[in-house]
Structure 1
């Protein structure tokens, strides 16, 4: 791997708007130099999730992050879209045939789907509190309420449940204030965006995990939702080149809760890939 030991705070970031099929744009930025790494955030949040991680990686890699369609600073969708196609558009825009993908939650799901659709374009995977397409989630009261809020387009209720279920460590834990702001900013945007997501042309990933050969790091926090732990165990068992870590003192928003530990794991993984 190419290494740049310069102070990442001294490396200017490129702030761009990337046109996407169907109209609109994705917001993205790029910083650092070296082998490319793309950071993908989860549903109901945006690229600010990676604020503490970017400078830690940018001393060794070219770090690209972007806001998913309709979230953060990206434009709302005007037609059906695919997160996999949007990721390909981002890579093409920055001129990368191949890159490492670091995805949290929905971003992890997109990374796995992309690895199945475009295996030659994935140098490595890091799946942080990841979901996986095709997984059957348990019908618990809290998850049922969460699904109902999305279905009924109740943004206020969705934001409330996002914080209680996925940010269980609360506002006083590291990153708590930013988490609350991101969730509030994106609740309504998420509902609108999800109405336009096109079904995956590739099918569900879960039964096909054994075909993904990219070196993979699987990480989840010890305070994340229990089903994320179940998924992490499945990913570690079924992905042929996977290694797993359970991080203490972290919920679903692990990059903001324990950035030093996550960056340490990511840098070690990327250096071996």
Structure 2
């Protein structure tokens, strides 16, 4: 199965991997701007999001990313991932470092992060599970907007995140119901390799972005990742919540474009 995706531009390849509360539409501003700046930009919907269906066979998201690159004839690419998409990007870098030219992760949970959630994140998980059990997907989507959209995200951003998250919930819930039927083959979650992982082995330029208004789990994770990878650059945006690419798209685009240019120049491919 090939993931649904958009592609634009020519030049060094860049894949944009969306957050778990969104789909590929979260990158609207960056998709257009990076293509205009001389990149071949690809933005997929991961399985169960946007227009990509839930899997009917065992899979990993990192394997899907590499398969998409193969499908498009891309030998090496820069990966830019937000939140869940950042975690997928990290797993891809650990799995096939030779396929990457650069890596940028925005508010991403670490591959080994888990089991020690902050009180705020634990309370979010509790409330979300409660709403799932009540089959109130609308309220669950609203909770995600409340939690993950920072103060710079206006009503248009909030409405867009709500629509993307609600759609993902509906697709994934329908798949869960299908699993209960005899003969259903849907796989509801990917299984990546268990840790511990050698983060120091990420041998490409790395930009780690965190938001000052995000939950502490992601801010601390960003600091840990930047400290574990030699040469990594950590930028904490004082205005950002969990989704800076939507909260201040122009500023986030400029940050990413500068990083990609610097990485290409360092590799001699600019």
TM-score, length-normalised on structure 1? 0.83
Instruction: After TM superposition, give the deviation of residue 249 of structure 1 in Å.
Output: 2.4
Aligned to 1:12: none
Answer whether contact 1:80 1:196 (CA < 8 A) is retained.
Answer: no
Which of 3, 7, 10 lines up with 1:33 in the alignment? 10
Higher helix share: 2
Which of 51, 56, 64 lines up with 2:28 in the alignment? 51
1:123-146 deviations in whole A, cap 9, x for unaligned? 100001111122134252423315
Within 1, Cα distance between the matches of 2:152 and 2:187? 29
Answer whether contact 1:210 1:238 (CA < 8 A) is retained.
Answer: yes
Aligned to 2:191: 199
Aligned to 2:251: 261
After the TM superposition, which residues 118-267 of structure 1 pair with which residues of structure 2 at under 5 Å, given as runs?
A: 118-136=96-114, 137-138=116-117, 140=119, 141-145=122-126, 148-149=129-130, 152=133, 154=135, 155-169=137-151, 172=154, 175-191=157-173, 192=175, 196-200=188-192, 202-204=193-195, 207-267=197-257
RMSD of the alignment, in Å? 2.3
Higher strand share: 1
Task: After superposing the two structures, state which structure 1 stretch, 115-124 or 137-146, moved more.
Answer: 137-146
Instruction: After TM superposition, give the deviation of residue 195 of structure 1 in Å.
Output: 5.5
User: How many residue pairs are counted as aligned between the two chains?
Assistant: 248
Q: Which runs of 5+ in 1 are unaligned?
A: 1-19
Within 2, Cα distance between the matches of 1:240 and 1:152? 44
Within 2, Cα distance between the matches of 1:49 and 1:93? 23
TM-score, length-normalised on structure 2? 0.84
Instruction: After TM superposition, give the deviation of residue 157 of structure 1 in Å.
Output: 4.3
Instruction: Give the secondary-structure state (helix, strand or coil) at the position aligned to 2:210.
Output: strand
- TM-aligned CA distance change 1:234 to 1:190, over 3 Å: farther
Q: Which runs of 5+ in 2 are unaligned?
A: 177-185, 264-270
Within 1, Cα distance between the matches of 2:125 and 2:52? 29
Within 2, Cα distance between the matches of 1:203 and 1:120? 20
Answer whether contact 1:222 1:248 (CA < 8 A) is retained.
Answer: yes
Within 1, Cα distance between the matches of 2:95 and 2:198? 11
Within 2, Cα distance between the matches of 1:266 and 1:178? 22
